[in-house]
Every structure is written in structure tokens, then in C-alpha cells.
Amino acid sequence: MKDSEFMNKDQDKYKDHRTSLLEWETPEFVPAPRGKRWYITAGLIMTALVLYGLFTDNLTMAIVFILMAVVFLLTEKKEPKIVKMIISDMGVQYKGQFYPYHHINSFWLVYHPPYVQALYLRIRNGRQFKHLRIELNGQRPQEVRGLLLKEVAESEGAHEPVSDALVRILKLQ
């Protein structure tokens, strides 16, 4: 069964029985401000990687880096959508997708303003797990934590995933 089918089944099941405890609107992601210096540095790095691929007779590598640069330039001006986040008595709804508490394995908060203010959910999806990052966007982390602790275990000591930290530090999103 696909991820969306798996979750949509539960979404319909609990639709009429949910009471919202906390809700807010948040961007899908926080775009990183990039200056002229960032674009020059990124351009030089990409040029060096493409040239390295060409000089080592690795045409595939050169093509991949060119395609990466093109895709980045086509998508980098994309503004984040504003989505609704709801914590209810039955689960969490984010981007219109409902995740009942029994599918949420754990949660953790990463709160280091102004750099990171995010809620992470570890969601069981059949036999696999996926991590969902949700921007707090001004919500008090103590309130969010208090509501989720009633139903879900907290991953104490968990940090921002390395991939998210790299994307943030390198200003890729």
C-alpha cells in the first residue's frame, strides 16, 4: 500500500472525531537569504566541478553538475507555500495530511532562534520511518511539546538532522 493510501485511510477514519488543540500557519521551509557573494562562490564551485569532470574525461560527472545547476536556478526563486499545522486530540495534520498518534513514533524540537525553530516528527509508514520537519513559526515550543508529550514519546537529545543543517548552512533552500 502506498504512503498516501496508508495515511488517507486513517484521515477519513478520524475526520469527524477530531478536536483541534493547537493550530498555526507556517511556511513549508524558511528560505535562506543569498547575496551576490554566495552566487559568485556557488558559480565558481560548479564551474570547477564541471571542468574537473571534463579534464578527467568524466563526461557524466560534468553533465550531472550542469543539470544540478540548471535545476537549482529554475527552482531557487520558489516561494514557500503557507500551510496549516494542526495538533488535535487524535493526531497531527500538516499540509492537509493527517497522521494519527499511533503512526507517530516520536518527536523532538530543535529550537535555536533565529537559526532553527522546528518540530520534527518520526512517522511510521508501514515498516519504514520518515522524518517530517515543521517550522514552528512563532509557536511556543513548550506548548507544542506539552501537547505532544501526552500522546507521543519525545526523542530527548535529538538534534537537527545533518542533511537539514547542511542545507541551512550552505543556504541551499
pLDDT of residue 156: 85
- Residues 121 and 40 grouped into a single domain: no
**pTM for this model (two decimals):** 0.80
- Residues 45 and 120 grouped into a single domain: no
- Residues 41 and 25 grouped into a single domain: no
Domain final residue pick, 23, 57, 75: 75
- Residues 159 and 109 grouped into a single domain: yes
Q: Which domain holds residue 112?
A: 3-31+79-169
CA 94 to CA 83: how far, in whole Å?
Answer: 7
pLDDT digits (tens, 9 = 90+) for 3-48: 444 455 555 555 655 788 999 999 998 888 889 999 999 999 999 9
Domain final residue pick, 75, 94, 128: 75
- Residues 41 and 124 grouped into a single domain: no
pLDDT of residue 126: 80
Secondary structure of residue 149 in the 3-state scheme: helix
pLDDT of residue 81: 92
CB under 8 Å to 45, separation ≥6 — which residues?
none
pLDDT of residue 1: 47
pLDDT digits (tens, 9 = 90+) for 136-155: 999 999 999 999 999 999 99
Cis, bond preceding 100 (omega within 30 deg of 0): no
- Residues 115 and 135 grouped into a single domain: yes
Least trusted range by pLDDT, from 21-25, 67-71, 125-129: 125-129
Which CATH number do you get for residue 159?
2.30.29.30
Q: Specify the number of domains making up the chain.
A: 2
Return the axis-axis angle of helices 36-55 and 59-75, rounded to nearest 10°.
160
Least trusted range by pLDDT, from 8-12, 162-166, 169-173: 8-12
